[in-house]
Amino acid sequence: MELLDLSFFTSAIRMITPILLAALGGALCARVGIFNVGLEGLILAGAFSAIVGNYFSGNVLVAVLVGALGSVLVSLLFGMAAIRFKANPIVAGIAINFLVLGLTTFGLRAIFNVKGAFYDKNMEGLPKLDIPVIEGIPVVGNLLSGHSPLVYIAFLAAIVLYIFFYRTVTGFRVLAVGKNEAAARSLGLKVTLLQYGAIVVCGILCGLAGAQLSLGQVTMFTEGMTAGRGFIALVAMMLGQSHPIGIVGSSLLFGLMDALSIRLQGFSMPTQFTAMLPYIITIIAMFFLKDRGADSQLSGQQSSR
Amino acid sequence: MKLQRKLQQLLKSLIQPLTAVLIGLLTGAVAISLVGASVLETYKVMWDGAFGNFYFVTATLARATPIILIGLGLAIAFRAGVFNMGAEGQMVLGAVSAALAALYVPGSGIIKILAALLAGFLAGGLWSLLAGWMETRFKVQLLISTLLLNYVAVLFAGYLVSRPFQDKSGSAALAQTHMIDQVAWLPKLFQGMSVHMGFVIAMVLAITLYIILRFTSAGYEVRMLGYNPFFAEYGGINKIKVLLFSMFFSGGIAGLAGTVEVLGSQYRYVEGSLTVPGYAWTGLMAALLANSNPLGTAVAAILLAALQTGAMGMERNTEVPLEIASVIQGVLILFVTAKITMNWWKVKKKAGDIHGAA
Amino acid sequence: MTYVLEMKDMSKKYGDFLANDTISIHLKKGEVLAIVGENGAGKTTLMRMLYGLEQPTSGEIVLNGKTVKFSGPHDAIENGIGMVHQHFMLFSDFSVTENIVIGHEPKQNGFFNRKAAAEKVKELSEHYKINVNPLKTAGDCSIGEQQRIEILKVLYQGADIIILDEPTAVLTPLEIEELLKTIQFLAEQGKSIILITHKLPEVMKVADQITVLRNGKVTGNVLTQNTDVEQLATMMVGRELQKLTDRIQLDGDPLLVVENLTIGGKNAKPILDQLSLTIHRGEIVGIAGVSGNGQSELIQAITGLRKIDSGSVHLGDTIFSGKTVAYRRNAGLAHIPEDRYLWGAAKEAAVEETGLMGYYRKRNFNQSSFIKLNSFRKLVRGWIDRFEIKTPSLDEKSGNLSGGNLQKLIVARELGFETDFLIAAEPTRGVDIGAMEYIHEAIIEKRNNGDGILLVSSELSEILTLSDRIAVMYEGKIVDILNRNEATEERLSVLMAGGNENEASTKTTTTA
């Protein structure tokens, strides 16, 4: 078996999709001054709601929308705690992770009456999208075509977010809120409204990330199926300094390392060591993060004060 | 007069967590009625499951033991102003090191126990120190690095017990170490009950930490660093040293949490036995709930453990699923730092702020 | 009714504290109204109510004959009121243009038309003769330039009434001249200006009408032509100022010796450039200079809060270079920091804990690592009595004390070390007159005891009152040292702006 072949890259692209989507959502929150540690919970909420939507409607599009809606509701709860009630965002984010873990497991029992995982063979997963022209090109076609629509949406979202931040008026104001909230308020900008807007969009993006998880490869939901992806998204967000293109880069790095770690398992290395690879590479990458963006100050760690 | 003010202050500091508990219980009530059960009866069953008889009380305390220790460790880091999210990795490394020390250090039971405690403390402490060092030396965000180091630590411990130190004697090849010699077990506090010596260690540590933080110069340095690092530095506190010490003890105590679990109830390191119950996260919540006061953390840890053992009892006896406990916990923490306070206090505080700014 | 703005019987209560007590002001089109008063007199509160940042407890705001209510700055801006805050509200990463147009950005299909914005800013800048570079990043602009951005922003928003809150506090003398000209020009163009300040000479130069506040009340409303600085000062302070204790002539030995101190900057220009300075026993050396010329860095280098690139610092026989903050403090250094909230205290900590800093290491208060809180509390109670620090208890959060009381606590703490050498940086910033007299008295007393003091202050009057010698800092160097009897505000101003002595004499003669 070759170490790096085409399927390696296609699997990397699939793997980064939920991380990229969630990291973009997190970046949006960071840009309005809210450090969102609750991404893990938001993705999980999306994954679960998507399965619920799928089971009851039998329609994939409805499922994705319900996934987004579920995540938005949780996101609003987080926003309310952090903005309206001025709770410490880090604490509120941790709480959201826990709450959603409990709620989804509870939901599995209450709605589907199962424990651990829910699977129904009648449920339909996300379709694979073949892109007409690109599909025909050798190599590139295999690499870029035939993914679920959410994969394309993820990359599209990064571009849209980039244009939003750096070309539109509202995006400009969002950046302003994150850079200096007091100044933004004194100018009469609708800071709270922008913050809630960011929270809602973050919910949508995380909902899509969750839908990709539960409907993308295999159509099922398992307890705690996010398995730390929300935290990885948080790292990708910080590594990418909350810049959409930077986040694409850091997500790609993580996705490649993840795909590589799976591939390396074929090379008689203990699986534990190969599985460590993405985390260790990410830590090393953080050493090179010299010019740390405004978002890193939000975490309130000693070094950033 | 002075006593009255102290009491008032205590009451004031309790309003916040109590409001959060109330909201948590209300949410739980909604969830319980959603599955069609009686709220009061279910809570009664939960209470009995946690404190119903002596056996359940000891089971609750046994479950609380690692949670208290994790919470205490994190409380130190929080007091020093850093968000250590790495308790899980620190605990797991502590547990596996303790298990190996108890297995392979020669000598009598007491020597094995001491070696295991030391190994567990050092392993957790050094792992945590690594994150502290990366923060002070290279400005690698501690919040993120500790999170990432968790994965590395858990995977590494998994490797140790699935390869070099795996117990292959059993019928199924589980990822676990051999069983520790009985002489190195921490004694149970009561015959036939699950609560063990680790609980005493945890409580003694809680009191000790309270005294250190409140009354000693080291505790003063830690607290001032957490309040305002610039002020600390200005006053001659060695910021880096205090931060590294705090992280070392923070991780070391998390390592002890793993150690006493191994020595007191599992008697070996089994992969997943510490991560699946979510001790680390519950400990984190205990520290948050108590605003990092060591004594408060111990109390909060026992309450959270009671919520979990109570939920188990509830699941045995009713149709209501166990996960209600996680929902209640989540809501509780969501609102614990929220500023839902009575109006008069808000007005007074605002005025104070303005005075401060003028 | 020819007034564009009237504020009638405005009152604002914070708890039991009456910050504004039935204050009334009025303003005509094209008029410059100065509101003067000491710190804490209520000027800022009044303006915050006008700008919608605070809601009045009672009173009425009448704008062009109509009663208005502002629920936030947005309403004030909509009604043509603009404010230039004392602490600039700028986005340092954004360009000058972006900072000016934010909130009213030129749009094209929802997209931000930065080109049109830059052109508008250019036009505006030319029309009002306020010079800025629209494409520069705001963070790279000088303080004076940043203030011009703020003024243009307010004009861009269409303000007819412009509030300037302590605009000259951070400027060089030359920049002040320019600002005063701008203010006059804006008034000629029909803008009405409210100038908040406590610097009377400027007021006399530019204002048409002056309202004086003291302790939240109006103590006088006069036309500039009918008054003078002395009358205004009396109205501001309400009594004769105490005379400071006489200073005894002392010829002490050198105490703190700084030699060739250099700290490199981010760019080629060093922050401190081969700086040398000696402070003797029984001497107060004042550092005069526009803020940002290396004063903060000099203090941090002496106290050990900042690494130096070359040079040396001695205190008596003790070498300071390369030593920790604690070592230097133990060797005889105390330090009143320039920013009491950043360096001097922990807002969340109790009053006694803020006081304990440094003492917890001392043998009197530390018994084998346990802090002897009871003996320490006695000491703190002594400070509270001596400096009349108002606090409900020793457990009160430090952040809940008023600025003046917290400053007194910090001053008491640092004087309490009874060290040979003291750095007093902005020792009276933002405190009331009573507290200021107290702190000045204590500093003089320390000097008379034969201790050495380095005083850094942005208030020239404070430097002139207290110092035996005055060192002027400009761009990381000490450009001149004047003796107490040869220093005047004019001479210092010129030196502070980077001019040399010869220029100083020519300039003073031409302006005189």
Residue to mutate among C50, C111, C154, with most A CBs inside 10 A, is C111
pLDDT at B325 over 60: yes
With a CB cutoff of 8 Å and minimum separation 6, the contacts of C200 are C36, C229, C232, C233
Considering only CB atoms, which chain A residues are within 8 Å of C85?
A: 186
The tokens of C407 are what? 């400053």
Tokens for B118, please give them: 């030391």
Most confident of B1-15, C301-315, C392-406: C301-315
d(CA A174, CA A177): 5
B147/A contact by beta carbon, under 8 A: yes
CA distance B145 to B142: 5
pLDDT tens digits, one per residue of B212-242:
999 999 999 999 999 999 999 999 999 999 9
DSSP-derived 3-state class of residue C306: coil
> Residue B171's pLDDT is what?
63
Query: Amino acid letter at B241?
Result: K
Q: Are A48 and A212 in contact (CB under 8 A)?
A: no
The token pair that represents A50 in the structure block: 């998507």
Phi, psi of C66 (to 5 degrees): -110, 135
The whole-angstrom separation of Cα A75 and Cα A81 is 10
If you search the block for the tokens 């302070």, which residue do you land on?
C237
Residue C303 has pLDDT above 80, yes or no: yes
Say if residues B128 and B86 touch (Cβ distance below 8 Å).
yes
Contact criterion met (CB < 8 Å) for A103 and B327: yes
Does B159 touch chain A if contact means CB atoms closer than 8 Å? yes
Among C27-31, C386-390, C419-423, C429-433, the range scoring the smallest mean pLDDT is: C429-433
Q: Please tell me the distance from the alpha carbon of residue C19 to that of residue C12, in angstroms, as a whole number.
A: 6
Residue of B nearest to A300 (CA): B82
Structure tokens at C492: 């210092």
Partner chains of C (3+ C-beta pairs under 8 Å): A, B
Nearest residue to C23 via CA among C38, C36, C12: C12
Check CB contact of A69 with chain B, cutoff 8 Å.
no
Question: What whole-number distance in Å separates Cα of residue C309 and Cα of residue C321?
Answer: 10
The class (CATH top level) of C3-237 is alpha beta
Q: Furthest-apart CA pair in chain A: how many Å? A: 62
Taking the C-alpha atoms of residue A22 and residue A202, their distance in angstroms, rounded to an integer, is 7
The neighbour count for residue A162, using CB atoms within 10 Å, is: 18
Q: Give the model confidence (pLDDT) of A140-159 as tens digits.
A: 676 777 788 898 999 999 99
The three-class DSSP label of residue C167 is: coil
Lowest mean pLDDT across A137-141, B161-165, B289-293, B298-302: A137-141
Q: Determine the Cα–Cα distance for residues A1 and C463; give it in Å rounded to an integer.
A: 79
Report yes or no: C116 and C71 within 8 Å, Cβ to Cβ: no
Alpha carbon C14 to its chain centroid, in Å, reads: 24
Domain parsing of chain C, residue ranges: 3-237, 254-511
For B231, the closest of C328, C343, C395 (CB atoms) is: C343
- C90 touches A: beta carbon within 8 Å: yes
Beta bridge partners of C456: C287, C425
Q: What's the gap between Cα C262 and its chain centre? A: 26
The token pair at B81 is 């102003």
Considering only CB atoms, which chain C residues are within 8 Å of A187?
73, 77, 89, 102-103
Q: What is the pLDDT of residue C244?
A: 67
pLDDT bucket at C419, cuts 50 / 70 / 90: very high
Which C-chain residues 397-416 have CB contacts (< 8 A) with chain B?
Answer: 399-403, 406
The residue assigned the tokens 């009469």 is A188
CA distance, residue A187 to nearest chain C CA (Å): 7
Distance CA A185, CA A189 (A): 6
Q: Which residue of C has its CA nearest to A176?
A: C91
pLDDT at B357: 32
Most confidently predicted of A83-97, B117-131, C81-95: B117-131
Q: Does B257 touch chain A (CB under 8 A)?
A: no
> Which residues have CB under 8 Å from B17's CB, separation 6+?
B289, B290, B291, B300, B336
Domain C254-511 is in which class?
A: alpha beta
Q: Reply yes or no on whether the pLDDT at B350 is more than 60.
A: no
CB C84 within 8 A of CB C162: yes
Element (H, E) at B125: helix B109-138
Structure confidence at residue A2 (pLDDT)? 55
C150 interfaces chain A, CB cutoff of 8 Å: no
Q: How many CB pairs under 8 A join B and C?
A: 108
pLDDT at C89: 87
CA B293 centroid distance within chain: 12
Residue A93 backbone zone (phi > 0: left; psi -120 to 50: alpha; other: beta): alpha
Whole-angstrom distance, CA of residue C211 vs CA of residue A108: 70
Alpha-carbon distance C50 to C76, whole Å?
7
C110 Cβ neighbours under 8 A, 6+ residues apart = A168, A169, A170
How far is B6 from chain A, CA to nearest CA, in Å?
26
| CA gap C115, C455 in Å, rounded | 48
Using alpha carbons, list the distances in angstroms from residue B337 to A88, B17, B67. 6, 8, 20
Looking at the DSSP bridge assignments, the partners of residue C319 are C314
Give kind and range of the element (H or E) at residue B120.
Answer: helix B109-138
Among C75, C77, C112, the residue with its CB nearest the CB of A172 is C112
The shortest C-alpha distance from A149 to chain B (Å) reads 30
**DSSP β-ladder status, C192-197 and C283-288:** unpaired
Q: Which residue of A has its CA nearest to C76?
A: A188
Query: Which residues of chain B lie closer than 8 angstroms to A99, CB-CB?
Result: 326-327, 329-331, 334
Q: Residues B178, B181, B185, B190: what is their CA dihedral angle, to the nearest 10 degrees? A: 110
Mean pLDDT of B240-261: 96
Secondary structure (3-state) at C241: coil
- What is the C-alpha separation between B171 and B347, in angstroms, rounded? 68
SS3 for C316-329, per residue?
Answer: CCEECCCCCHHHHH
A–B interface: beta-carbon pairs under 8 A: 165
Contact indicator for B108, B183 with CB cutoff of 8 Å: yes
Q: Does A179 contact C83 at a Cβ distance shorter than 8 Å? A: no
Range 286-345 of C in CB contact (< 8 A) with B: 303, 305, 324-326, 328-330, 335, 337, 342-345
- Whether the CB of B342 is below 8 Å from some CB of chain A: the reply is no
Q: Could you tell me if C360 lies within 8 Å of chain B, comparing CB atoms?
A: yes
Same fold, C3-237 and C254-511: yes
Name residues of chain A where pLDDT drops below 70.
1-5, 134-136, 138-140, 142, 290-305
* pLDDT exceeds 60 at position C3: yes
Distance, CA of A149 to CA of C285 (rounded, Å): 72
Distance between CA atoms of residues C370 and C151, nearest Å: 55
Q: Which of C361, C393, C405, C417 to mutate to test the interface with B (most CBs of B within 10 A)?
A: C361
Of C73, C85, C111, the CB nearest to A168: C111
Structure confidence at residue A295 (pLDDT) = 45
Confidence of residue C428 (pLDDT cuts 50, 70, 90): confident
Q: Cβ of B288 and A91 within 8 Å?
A: yes
* Among candidates C356, C369, C395 on the partner chain, residue whose Cβ is nearest the Cβ of B218: C369
Q: What is the pLDDT averaged over residues C369-396?
A: 90
* Residues sharing a CB contact under 8 Å with residue A259, sequence separation 6 or more, in sequence order: A8, A9, A11, A12, A15
The per-residue pLDDT for range B142-199, each reduced to its tens digit, is 888 998 999 999 999 999 988 788 777 766 677 888 888 888 888 888 888 888 999 9
Tens of pLDDT, residue by residue over C220-269, are: 899 999 988 888 888 887 766 666 667 777 778 999 999 999 998 666 68
Residues in chain C with CB shorter than 8 Å from the CB of B357 are 403
CB contact under 8 A, C103 and A189: yes
Q: What is the pLDDT of residue B143?
A: 86
Q: CB–CB of C90 and A183 under 8 A?
A: yes
Whether B155 and A273 lie within 8 Å, measured CB to CB: yes
Check residue B284 and give its pLDDT: 92
pTM for this structure? Answer: 0.87
Question: Any idea which residue has 């990366």 for tokens?
Answer: B134
> Is C395–B231 a contact, with Cβ atoms under 8 angstroms apart?
no
How far does the CA of residue B114 sit from the closest CA of chain A (Å)?
30
The radius of gyration of chain C's CA atoms, rounded to the nearest angstrom, is 25
Comparing CB atoms, the residue among B215, B224, B234 nearest residue C371 is: B215
Nearest beta carbon to residue B326 from set A101, A276, A302:
A101
DSSP code string of C375-436? HHHHHHHHHHHHHT---S-TTSBGGGS-HHHHHHHHHHHHHHT--SEEEEESTTTT--HHHH
Residue (of A304, A258, A299) closest to A278 by Cα position: A258
B319 in A contact zone (CB under 8 Å):
no
Q: Name C262's bridge partners.
A: C310
Bridge-based pairing state of the strands C272-280 and C283-288: unpaired
**What whole-number distance in Å separates Cα of residue B134 and Cα of residue B130?**
6
Helices (H), C168-215: 173-188, 200-206
Rounded to the nearest 5 degrees, what angle is found at the Cα of B86, between the Cα atoms of B82 and B89? 155
Listed in sequence order, the residues at least 6 apart from C133 whose beta carbon sits closer than 8 Å to its beta carbon are C96, C141
Q: Which of B2, B6, B213, B231 to mutate to test the interface with C (most CBs of C within 10 A)?
A: B231
CB A134 within 8 A of CB A140: yes
DSSP secondary structure string, A136-172?
Answer: HSTTHHHHHSSB-HHHHHHHHHHHHHHHHHHHBHHHH
Range name among A243-247, B347-351, C101-105, C194-198 with the lowest pLDDT average: B347-351
Mean pLDDT of C322-330: 94
| Residue C117 Cα distances to A41, C17, C114, C179, angstroms | 42, 45, 5, 24
Q: Which carries the bigger pLDDT value, residue C461 or residue B91?
A: B91
In chain A, where the domains are located: 16-226
